[in-house]
Amino acid sequence: MGGQCFPFVAHVIRGKWFAFYAAMMVMIGSGTSYVFNLYNQTIQDNLGYDEVGMSTIDYYKVVGTWLAVFNGLIVELIPAWFGLFLGATMNFGGYFMAWLAVTRWISRPKVWQMCLYLAVATNSPNFSGTIAMVNSINNFPMNRGVIIGLLKSLVGLSGATMSQLYHGIYGNDAKDLILLCAWLPASVSIIFMFTIRNIAKIGRQPHELKAFLNIFYLTILLALFLMVVILLEKYMIDMTQAATHTKCAITMTVTTLLLLPLIFVVKEEAAIWKRVTVEKLPQVSILPADSSSIQPKENSFANILINKPERGEDHTILQAILSVDMLYILLVTLCGYGPALTFIEQLRPIGVALEYHERLIQSIITLTTIWNYYGRVYSGFVSELLLTKWKLSRSIMMSVILLLECSGLILVAFPKIPGTYYVASVIIGFSFGSQVSINLSMTSELFGLKHYATFLNFIQTLVPLSLYLMNTKLTKVLYAREATKYIPPGIDPSTLKDLTCTGQHCFMVPFSILAAIAFIGALVSLRFARKTREFYQGDIYKRFRFAT
């Protein structure tokens, strides 16, 4: 018995289920940008940046997060372990330099230097997260909607998880949160550096979906626990005054919930171990429906523009980018992501305009990330189920989600009924998360997995553009115009430091426009569903059927 223990442990560590668990842990550490609001005031207080400087830092932090197309291209050219190492180095280097500046170990950096530190740090998850996502989908290609939903949802929980670990490990000094952001995600990537990889030799197991559902239930439990803790912090417990044992208990509970999926990992790897060693079954491999369909094609002008592969086959980067299908996806992304992210960016001004107290506003801001998680994880499972059972294309699901988002935006524009602020945060947070999972799943199905690392990051480049157009150039401008209407005569608006609007009218015009944009996105997605109907009526996973 003892002689079998070490080989089995080695088998588990080298297995695809443990690789998926490692990917989950990497994704939990990939959302450090979500905790920026918890330490941005510390940066301003210790380094003396003005509001313009902080706005610039915040902008480049967002650019670093979403400008990821180059990360995808690089990931395709380097081994997975090196990409994880590169991401860990960037993460630690960027946040550690910021921590050294805030703690005065180095001289006060200029604004552009702090922008660089945080842009590098927030860009690093595009290496580690992309590697985790792509290799997991390659290992479980017939459950990609589930995989994407689970992994992307954990990014949504990352901010809440990191904040609880920070309270338990360090206490309440926000400077230490920057240090935690530096070493914890980097350590996770280094620990699992040689674990996350493409393990295509192990075929599909008969009850994969059941195992993923069990892991899904545990992530739901983690999300519910974090939600309860957040609400208690906002309404009953002051974490700055809470006893040390209370903070440690919360941290230990979070850690335990993160470790529990290992139970199902070991169970599934044990089933593989039994099949291989006891039943002596040969290892299986992926059998494509047509071997010629996955042979590399000559990257000529004719192949790019004329002899394109069918939907579902591996596209080259140019074939995908120049396709009509990609144009549809980009339009839907722009119409969906832009309004939702604008709402998230404007959560505080909306709360102030509706005259809610600060504690409620903080609660809504934090809980929106939880609704974002629920949207990501539920849409992944539900869209996979609808696709498998009834051949319902993901574009139709996207249309429904965008209509849901449209209703939330209308509630913001016309907040006549009490409680619309909270309801809108639930609807828009959930719908934004749902879009992420469905969008990335649809991209992998239409263009194949060969260059998926580049495709998923290429789509993300629209996020800074959508925020710039819909938040900076539309919403902020119209909000400022509305606020200036109530300045007393004789006062120059340019001399006022902050323009504040109070009342239900403040966001009526911009969010009416954003609701119209989301509605247009729903119509475009519906048209795309009609265009791809034949593809989704067929067997989109035929290339990944395994021999038995």
pLDDT number for residue 237? 59
**Contact by Cβ (8 Å): 408, 428:** yes
**Contact by Cβ (8 Å): 474, 341:** no
343: CB partners within 8 A, 6+ apart: 350, 408, 409, 412, 424, 428, 511, 514
Find tokens 């604008």 and name the residue.
342
pLDDT number for residue 36? 80
Mean pLDDT is lowest, of 116-120, 243-247, 420-424, 487-491, for: 487-491
Amino acid at position 362, single letter: Q
pLDDT number for residue 438? 93
* % of the chain with per-residue pLDDT over 70: 87
**How far, in Å, CA of 509 to CA of 174, rounded?**
37
Say if residue 294's pLDDT is above 70: no
**Contact by Cβ (8 Å): 379, 149:** yes
**How far, in Å, CA of 458 to CA of 321, rounded?**
9
Classify 546 as helix, strand or coil: strand
H or E segment to which residue 246 belongs: helix 244-259
pLDDT number for residue 236? 64
Say if residue 276's pLDDT is above 50: yes
Say if residue 77's pLDDT is above 70: yes
Mean pLDDT is lowest, of 164-168, 386-390, 494-498, 519-523, for: 494-498
Per the prediction, the chain carries an average pLDDT of 84
| Backbone phi, psi, residue 286, to 5° | -70, 130
Reported as a pLDDT band with limits 50, 70 and 90, residue 524 is very high
Say if residue 189's pLDDT is above 90: yes
Tokens of 258: 């993160």
Classify 252 as helix, strand or coil: helix
First to last CA, the chain: 30
Classify the phi-psi angles of 283: left when phi > 0, otherwise alpha if psi is within -120 to 50, otherwise beta: beta
Say if residue 188's pLDDT is above 90: yes
DSSP letter assigned to residue 202? S
pLDDT number for residue 432? 94
Say if residue 293's pLDDT is above 90: no
227: CB partners within 8 A, 6+ apart: 367, 370
pLDDT number for residue 201? 60
pTM of structure: 0.84
Of residues 255, 256, 247, the one with CA closest to residue 229: 247
Task: Give pLDDT tens digits for 86-121.
Answer: 999 999 999 999 999 999 899 999 989 999 999 999
Task: Give pLDDT tens digits for 445-476.
Answer: 999 988 999 998 888 888 888 888 999 889 98
pLDDT number for residue 296? 44
Reported as a pLDDT band with limits 50, 70 and 90, residue 297 is very low
HSE at residue 465, side-chain half, CA atoms within 13 A, is 12
**How far, in Å, CA of 72 to CA of 289, rounded?**
28
Task: Give pLDDT tens digits for 328-377.
Answer: 999 999 999 999 999 988 988 899 899 888 778 877 877 888 888 899 99
